[in-house]
Amino acid sequence: MSANLPFWTDLIVSTLIVLGTGFALIGSWGLARLSTFLKRVHGPTKTVTLGIGCVLVASALAFARQGELSGHELLITLFLFLTTPVSAHLLIQAALKLDPASGPPPPPSR
């Protein structure tokens, strides 16, 4: 299907896909490499979500250019951007319950 896209659409879609792949790789690398859970949770929740958003927007562009725009990609993007903070919040609460000492130190009292 990619053969019949105009040049500029092709370029923009390809750039968005490469950007999204890079973001997802960096996020997964952070999930695998960082030292504590509270550091590791940054990679998937922010970086990978941004990468998936790039890929979904690229797909929506490619299909819209052929006159077959459906709301599915934008719906998935909206859903992911809404739900990722919620699940990250619940995961951090669970981690703090399992190991309360891993949290940040309490603020100094005066």
Partner 1 sequence: MILTHVLPLATAGFTLALALNTWRLLRGPTLPDRILALDTMSVNALALLVLVGLRIGSQHYFEVALLIALLGFVGTVVLSKFILRGDIVE
CB of 46 to partner 1, least distance (A): 12
Q: Please report, as residue ranges, which positions from 18 to 47 form the binding site for partner 1 (by CB under 8 A).
A: 18, 20-22, 24-25, 27-29, 31-32, 37, 40-41, 43-44
CA distance 36 to 83: 23
C-alpha distances in angstroms, 86 versus 56, 58, 69, 92? Answer: 21, 25, 29, 10
- Angle between helices 49-65 and 72-98 in degrees, nearest 10: 170
Are the C-beta atoms of 90 and 98 separated by less than 8 Å? Answer: no
Residues that bind partner 1 (CB under 8 A): 1-3, 5, 7, 10-11, 13-14, 17-18, 20-22, 24-25, 27-29, 31-32, 37, 40-41, 43-44, 48-49, 51-52, 55-56, 58-59, 62-63, 68, 70, 72-73, 75-76, 79-80, 83, 86-87, 90-95, 97-99
